[in-house]
Structure 1
Amino acid sequence: MTATPARPTMSAAAVLRDGDGRFLIVKPGYKDGWNLPGGGVDEGETPSQAARRELQEELGVEQEIGRLLISAFVQSTGRAHIYWVFDGGVLSEEQQAGIRLQESELTAYRFSAAEDIGPDEIPPALRPVWELALKALEGGDTTNLEVAM
């Protein structure tokens, strides 16, 4: 196992759904794969504040952030990152129609059932985070995950 960097980076995301129970995923323009909407935690803000800010900046969506679903520490070669994933709730039809992508960050978005999100669409290091977030959403528990790759 590689040494953990002294200061891991952090990001916060939200699991958002439509009225049919499908999940909102976004396509970043700067890396492969699809992600939950969210981004980096800035100095002086909490993870839930970061998730809410990122939804506004990247999607133009004002949404209350719910309970924490998962905290995950993921370490890979020379990098460590802490993910905070929250329940973002259900977006109204009006909110869905108002989604406006921050073009400098995102190239696409879609609502998909969990089974329609292919294994190659979520980056491998994030797949366990994604799966446990959905399990926590369904089961009502918060999960902690630590992965060293």
Structure 2
Amino acid sequence: MLGLIPLIRRVRHGMTLGVRVMAEDADGRLLLVRHSYLPGWHLPGGGVDFGETAADAARRELKEEANVEAEEPLAMAGMFFNPRVGGRDHVVLFRAGRIVIGPRPARNLEILAAEFFAPDALPQDISPATLRRIAEQEGRTPVSDMW
């Protein structure tokens, strides 16, 4: 079921552009977030706002959802088509280099949790798209153009 925020965004915009960020701490643990409107764990991210670049949106979402800041420019890791969201949705995946981790943000209406996970201890309910992106970035599977 589509949540209220994604539904409003879909109605207001023809084509949508979203971002996700792969960010790892100094121990190589991957940052994942749990949204209130989607099941499972996901890479942090969200929609690109009017007048905002994809990279700016990725930095904003990283800060808003997890209180994490990228110290270096983000590296674009791919662009993917997400047919499940209105048939016109695309997601840009970025990789963060060095990051600065602030205190975990309090639970709010959008984000229920933001945590770092070791590659061999990912949560069982991680989203399938997130698992695909991890496998692709680790070189275990070919890169797909589908989210």
TM-score using structure 2 length: 0.73
**Given residue 46 of structure 2, which amino acid in structure 1 is its aligned partner?**
G
Q: Displacement of 1:11 after TM fit?
A: 0.9
Partner of residue 129, structure 1: 133
1:126, distance to aligned residue in structure 2 (A)? 4.6
CA RMSD of aligned residues (A): 2.9
Matches within 5 A, 1:45-84: 45-63=52-70, 64-76=72-84, 78-84=86-92
Per the TM alignment, residue 75 of structure 1 is displaced from its structure 2 partner at its CA by 1.2
Amino acid at match of 1:84: V
Q: Are residues 144 and 49 of structure 1, via their aligned partners in 2, closer, same or farther at CA, if it must alter by over 3 Å?
A: farther
Identity, in percent, stands at: 32
* Count of equivalent residues: 133
Distance 1:77 1:44 in 2: 21
Distance 2:146 2:124 in 1: 18
Match in the other structure for 2:144: 145
Point out where structure 2 has 5 or more consecutive residues left out of the alignment: 1-12
Segments of structure 1 that go 5 or more residues without pairing to the other structure are: 1-5
Shift of 1:101: 4.3
Higher relative contact order (CA 8 A, sep 6+): 1
Q: Indicate the larger mover: 76-85 or 26-35.
A: 76-85
What TM-score results when the alignment is normalised by the length of structure 1? 0.72
Q: After TM superposition, where is structure 1 displaced by more than 4 Å over at least 4 residues in a row? A: none
Contact 1:59 1:102 in 2 (8 A): no
Task: Give 3-state SS (helix, strand or coil) of 1:17's partner.
Answer: coil
Tell me the secondary structure at the aligned position of residue 51 of structure 2.
coil
